[in-house]
Structure 1
Amino acid sequence: MFDMIVGIDLGTTNSLVAVWREDAAQLVPNALGHFLTPSVVGLDDDGQVLVGQVARERLQTHPQLTAALFKRYMGSAHDVRLGARRFRPEELSALVLKSLKADVERAFGEPVTEAVISVPAYFSDAQRKATRIAGELAGLKVEKLINEPTAAALAYGVHQKNETTFLVFDLGGGTFDVSILELFEGVMEVRASAGDNFLGGEDFDDALVAHFVAAQSSAGHLLDLHQHGFNQRLRREAQRVRHALGQQEREIFRVLQGERELCLEIDQNSLHEVVSPLLSRLRAPIDRALRDARIRVSDLDEVILVGGSTRMPLVRKLVASLFGRFPSLNLNPDEVVAQGAAIQAALKARAAALEEVVLTDVCPYSLGVETSVQFGQQTEAGHYFPIIERNTVVPVSKVRELQTLHDNQQQVLLKIYQGESRLVKDNIYLGELSIAVPPRKAGEVTLDVRFTYDNSGLLDVQVSIPMTGETRNLIIENNAGVLSPAEIAQRLSELESLKVHPRDQQVNSLLLARIERLYQEHLGELRQCFGQMAQDFHQVLNSQDERQIRELRKSIERHLSELDVGI
């Protein structure tokens, strides 16, 4: 028995966990036998925690007790009410991580205490710290955060022998990243990264929903978007239609409101028109990464697709047109990031088969502080002063000199930002810190501001005052997205008091939740049929006869499959 270090892809829509075994990254199935665990958390009717597929089935039927897409709010003060209490994004993420941790411990019979967790390359300092905290709340020491495209590249390149230059195009459920890498003599070097933290498959679903609502409104059908669970029905149907259009030319968008079925035919051309603004947004990060890496499209040997949203034919056609070639399809886009995270975990554990692999990464965005600029007798605040430029190789530590602005100034307030714009109002605020300075004439007191950015993408700020010889490391303050140590301890205690739904009951709970959703989605004889199924299954569950439960469950699942009701 020994403690395992695992690799985790903590995704917006789905999450996965993998381990390094027998000189290969192996994905670990969850309690339902699936590799993909939906990043959805809920409470059942008894207040027990549900994670994954069971929780996702209840998004429509119990929206007040279920949460999804919370990764998009990591690093912010946003919270979600489930039942009687509120949860922060890192707490919900921690419950997903706990479930993945339990899957590995059940599969291998060994305790899991450490993890490498993947994050979007464009995650800010606050979002990365929130991810680390989520790991801590789940009982994991987060050995390293690895950028998702870098993890995918590691999975792709770990067994490559030839020198290769390739681009990773990573479009997931909630984020888009692009990275350009070079592989040579056992060294994998990230040349540049760029991305958009608010662009993913969920946005394509939102666009489809908006198109459907607008079409119904034009036809005189006023939709009650506040009806219980109706928004979730719309989103679920949009996702189904988007996936169906990956295989066929046209599909019918169908949804029930009350006793009325609303329909809209959507074909490939109308889908392209609906999502065209989103496709256009994919171009800018690609152009920036190529420009920063000083690489032409013709210099790329391969384009690697990562993330479930790259399965859309529209996206693959766009990639083919942008790069003048078909992307590589020899890796599963849903699984490759988790595999890469497991490889990074093995590198941390010094696995013998990986001794010769060296990985370098970059800081994907510029980091700096707010300064004031002198225009004659006028001073204008709000200007951005970069200290670390984007796509600098990490780890990196850089120092820049600043001076006091006013006579007899006794304190300097440093506001820290991430971004590329000339003015700080157009960049992302990360936090602020203050330090006392000796009162002197303006400009006489200098401060050395050092930014250190590590391999996990975490920022440390140090300020030195040469005049006094004082040097201090300062913690970024006033960042609503980062919990304090005391708050972490409190949240950890609260999470430990929650009861988790029994794992051995998940398959039964999933079937009941699915039948309840189907009952809401259908009318007439089908609705009566689903109602009878639920009644029969409840009755046999109450008998606690495992053989009867198993037999009826298989019979119902077979019947649902025959009905072809989009289960």
Structure 2
Amino acid sequence: MIVGIDLGTTNSLVAVWRNAAPQLVPNALGDVITPSVVSLDEQGRVLVGQAARERLQTHPQLTAALFKRHMGSAREISLGTRKFRPEELSALVLRSLKDDVERAFGEPVTEAVISVPAYFSDAQRKATRIAGELAGLKVEKLVNEPTAAALAYGVHQKDRETSFLVFDLGGGTFDVSILELFEGVMEVRASAGDNFLGGEDFDAALVQHFISSLRQEKATPDFDSPGLRNRLRREAERVRQALGQEAATSFSFSHAGRQWELTISQDELQRVATPLLERLRVPIERALRDARIRVADLDEILLVGGTTRMPLVRKLAAVLFGRFPSMHINPDEVVALGAAVQAALKQRAEALEEVVLTDVCPYTLGIETTEQFGRVYEGGHYLPIIERNCVVPISRVKTIQTLHDNQTHVLLKVFQGESRLVKDNIALGELSIPVPPRPAGEVELDVRFTYDNNGILEAEVKVPATGELHHLVIEKNPGVLAPEEVRRRLAELAELKVHPREQMANTTLLARLERLYQEHLGELREMLGNMAGSFQQVLATQDLQRIEQMRVEIAQRLDELEGSPWQ
């Protein structure tokens, strides 16, 4: 069985193709959205999703979130005494989604199409594939998130020609893609993006604004402590979502018997978020320029990603494009639905026989070279081999020469980016090529880059002087695990015990009660403590009917206390 997965920065979803349509699969709590959060409980068992999210502020030393932002890096995240790579934590989320599907349909899931930001680098894409492997999945394909969203929309209108722009602002990344649909062919014309721009950045800006407002206070808490920082970010998220419905709301924070409040209006949020909103313009302008298309020629603007629910983001989109954008499909769900469409395409589903998808390489890939200016040689220059927004799969070759007499090796440094100098681009790795010792310039090397449909870069170098062909893997890239390291970490993850699924609803409610108990004071705190104690007593009876009844009653009271965002 093959599934489509939206592995998001803040939330993840899984969908399958059933009855000629994509279908979202709920998790153990009955929700189709699973927070991309991982925690270890007191017994060292893995918690994934809402239960883990509730523990971010109560057990910050045992809980991790936002790890997708570190995919493709060598960063390790500590949970208690254990350390995890970002792809390992992502694997635990993927494994949870995989289990949800297997329980729902009673058959094993072996393959997956996983969505990635269009602007993910080679290392980030390889890390995503490794995460799938660690979760026990064969990653059949990586699909760019805006392309997946377009598939979810386009599958319903394949009988007409149309051009549209996908504006995808999620929790951690921003992507924009321009696509054309004609005669059953969906062609990506151009993509651009920012891997560090999303709802989390708007929350961080609100947190910083709140902390700055307290500078006149003589005694303030240590806002750098993980527990308090997570509480602030959660409150900022609530404020941001509340401002989607209200003209103003209060940013409220209590600690050690003290209370701080700051009223924030939509106009104030606009001012705080202005630098982030300005950053949205650059990828849009680049994509339009590369696609050689005018805004007026676009038939539709599609908003994707939960952060596009913000009124100021929708307003900006309306101003930039001169029309109101479309949100026919839930922006949180559309990427997962599109990934399931891509999975169905891989399975050659009958309802999708006529749909053909083409994509592009969203960034330029090249190497470092030395340029000659008169008699002066200057290193650090960028030689593009595959230029951004070329249709994939693609293979391009460039010829270079040795620089020094009797040179025995050429060190190729591979980069991603658009700047003239490599210091302003992103280093992907280094390749060392043996060459015969000859006078400078006499030995040539044909450097070929191949970029496939999954966004994975392969490099090979031919040395005509010797006839040798070197098939090379990018080395010295700390973001890519070696095969033997993948096998070792796979064995370690297999030893981790997963919190029992049948207890997840109860565990989540207890974690939520604990969080709210820490957040509140006085009579409300006492009431929450009594709720938790009473619920634990009922759990001890093992009476499933009583447990479910009480769980529903408490959850309803907590919903009334907290309110439901985006409703």
TM range (shorter): over 0.9
Q: Is the Cα–Cα contact under 8 Å of residues 367 and 419 in structure 1 kept in the other structure?
A: yes
Amino acid at match of 2:361: C
- Are the structure 2 counterparts of residues 530 and 324 from structure 1 closer, same or farther at C-alpha, using a change threshold of 3 Å? same
Size of the alignment, in residue pairs? 564
Aligned with 1:150: secondary structure?
A: helix
Query: Are 1:132 and 2:129 matched, yes or no?
Result: yes
Instruction: Report the equivalent of 1:396.
Output: 394
Looking at structure 2, the residues matched to 294 and 323 of structure 1 have their Cα atoms a distance apart, in angstroms, of 16
Aligned with 1:29: secondary structure?
A: coil
Instruction: Report the equivalent of 1:292.
Output: 290
Instruction: Report the equivalent of 1:68.
Output: 65
Looking at structure 2, the residues matched to 235 and 343 of structure 1 have their Cα atoms a distance apart, in angstroms, of 34
Counterpart pick for 2:488 among 486, 490, 513: 490
Instruction: Report the equivalent of 1:179.
Output: 177
Looking at structure 1, the residues matched to 488 and 193 of structure 2 have their Cα atoms a distance apart, in angstroms, of 34
Looking at structure 2, the residues matched to 450 and 474 of structure 1 have their Cα atoms a distance apart, in angstroms, of 10
Instruction: Report the equivalent of 1:469.
Output: 467
Looking at structure 2, the residues matched to 289 and 446 of structure 1 have their Cα atoms a distance apart, in angstroms, of 35
Instruction: Report the equivalent of 2:19.
Output: 22
Looking at structure 2, the residues matched to 235 and 444 of structure 1 have their Cα atoms a distance apart, in angstroms, of 59
Amino acid at match of 1:114: E
Aligned with 1:199: secondary structure?
A: coil
Query: Structure 2 matches for 1:112-127, cutoff 5 A?
Result: 112-127=109-124
Aligned with 1:337: secondary structure?
A: helix
Instruction: Report the equivalent of 1:444.
Output: 442
Deviations 1:370-389 (A, max 9, x none): 00111233211111000000
Instruction: Report the equivalent of 2:354.
Output: 356
Instruction: Report the equivalent of 1:270.
Output: 268
Amino acid at match of 2:254: L
Looking at structure 1, the residues matched to 209 and 562 of structure 2 have their Cα atoms a distance apart, in angstroms, of 26
Query: Are 1:194 and 2:197 matched, yes or no?
Result: no
Counterpart pick for 2:414 among 413, 416, 427: 416
Q: Is the Cα–Cα contact under 8 Å of residues 35 and 50 in structure 2 kept in the other structure?
A: yes
Instruction: Report the equivalent of 2:332.
Output: 334
Measure how far apart 1:221 and its partner are.
5.1
Q: Is the Cα–Cα contact under 8 Å of residues 213 and 223 in structure 1 kept in the other structure?
A: no
Looking at structure 2, the residues matched to 55 and 274 of structure 1 have their Cα atoms a distance apart, in angstroms, of 30
Measure how far apart 1:82 and its partner are.
0.3
Amino acid at match of 2:307: S
Deviations 1:323-344 (A, max 9, x none): 0000012111111111111011
Deviations 1:120-158 (A, max 9, x none): 000000000000000000000000000000000111111
Measure how far apart 1:559 and its partner are.
3.0
Instruction: Report the equivalent of 2:384.
Output: 386
Q: Is the Cα–Cα contact under 8 Å of residues 367 and 384 in structure 2 kept in the other structure?
A: yes
Counterpart pick for 1:87 among 76, 84, 89: 84
Query: Structure 2 matches for 1:459-538, cutoff 5 A?
Result: 459-538=457-536
Amino acid at match of 1:42: S
Measure how far apart 1:219 and its partner are.
4.8
Instruction: Report the equivalent of 2:35.
Output: 38
- Are the structure 2 counterparts of residues 228 and 336 from structure 1 closer, same or farther at C-alpha, using a change threshold of 3 Å? closer
Structure 2 unpaired stretches of 5+: none
Looking at structure 2, the residues matched to 566 and 47 of structure 1 have their Cα atoms a distance apart, in angstroms, of 31
Instruction: Report the equivalent of 2:108.
Output: 111
Indicate the RMSD between aligned Cα atoms, in angstroms.
1.1
- Are the structure 2 counterparts of residues 285 and 227 from structure 1 closer, same or farther at C-alpha, using a change threshold of 3 Å? closer
Looking at structure 2, the residues matched to 554 and 339 of structure 1 have their Cα atoms a distance apart, in angstroms, of 29
Deviations 1:302-339 (A, max 9, x none): 00000000000000000000000000121111111111
TM-score by length of 2: 0.98
Looking at structure 1, the residues matched to 242 and 365 of structure 2 have their Cα atoms a distance apart, in angstroms, of 42
- Are the structure 2 counterparts of residues 166 and 291 from structure 1 closer, same or farther at C-alpha, using a change threshold of 3 Å? same
- Are the structure 2 counterparts of residues 345 and 403 from structure 1 closer, same or farther at C-alpha, using a change threshold of 3 Å? same
Instruction: Report the equivalent of 1:98.
Output: 95
Measure how far apart 1:554 and its partner are.
2.4
Instruction: Report the equivalent of 1:218.
Output: 216
Looking at structure 1, the residues matched to 426 and 108 of structure 2 have their Cα atoms a distance apart, in angstroms, of 39
Aligned with 2:430: secondary structure?
A: strand
Measure how far apart 1:227 and its partner are.
4.4
Counterpart pick for 2:556 among 552, 555, 558: 558
Measure how far apart 1:548 and its partner are.
2.5
Query: Are 1:156 and 2:153 matched, yes or no?
Result: yes
Aligned with 2:479: secondary structure?
A: coil
Query: Are 1:11 and 2:8 matched, yes or no?
Result: yes
Deviations 1:169-205 (A, max 9, x none): 0000000000000111111100000000000000000
Counterpart pick for 1:47 among 39, 44, 49: 44
Instruction: Report the equivalent of 1:407.
Output: 405
- Are the structure 2 counterparts of residues 282 and 370 from structure 1 closer, same or farther at C-alpha, using a change threshold of 3 Å? same
- Are the structure 2 counterparts of residues 228 and 128 from structure 1 closer, same or farther at C-alpha, using a change threshold of 3 Å? closer
Aligned with 2:466: secondary structure?
A: coil
Measure how far apart 1:561 and its partner are.
3.6
Measure how far apart 1:565 and its partner are.
6.5
Looking at structure 2, the residues matched to 469 and 516 of structure 1 have their Cα atoms a distance apart, in angstroms, of 68
Looking at structure 2, the residues matched to 195 and 563 of structure 1 have their Cα atoms a distance apart, in angstroms, of 38
Amino acid at match of 1:306: V
- Are the structure 2 counterparts of residues 396 and 381 from structure 1 closer, same or farther at C-alpha, using a change threshold of 3 Å? same
Amino acid at match of 1:166: F
Deviations 1:5-64 (A, max 9, x none): 000000000000000010000000111000100000000111100000000000010000
Looking at structure 2, the residues matched to 225 and 322 of structure 1 have their Cα atoms a distance apart, in angstroms, of 37
Amino acid at match of 1:70: F
- Are the structure 2 counterparts of residues 563 and 391 from structure 1 closer, same or farther at C-alpha, using a change threshold of 3 Å? closer
Q: Is the Cα–Cα contact under 8 Å of residues 9 and 171 in structure 2 kept in the other structure?
A: yes
Q: Is the Cα–Cα contact under 8 Å of residues 184 and 356 in structure 2 kept in the other structure?
A: yes
TM-score by length of 1: 0.98
Instruction: Report the equivalent of 1:369.
Output: 367
Looking at structure 1, the residues matched to 560 and 37 of structure 2 have their Cα atoms a distance apart, in angstroms, of 28
Q: Is the Cα–Cα contact under 8 Å of residues 304 and 327 in structure 2 kept in the other structure?
A: no
Deviates more, 1:557-566 or 1:189-198: 557-566
Measure how far apart 1:533 and its partner are.
1.3
Amino acid at match of 1:497: E
Aligned with 1:61: secondary structure?
A: coil
Aligned with 2:57: secondary structure?
A: helix
Instruction: Report the equivalent of 2:243.
Output: 245
- Are the structure 2 counterparts of residues 562 and 469 from structure 1 closer, same or farther at C-alpha, using a change threshold of 3 Å? closer
Aligned with 1:242: secondary structure?
A: helix
Instruction: Report the equivalent of 2:138.
Output: 141
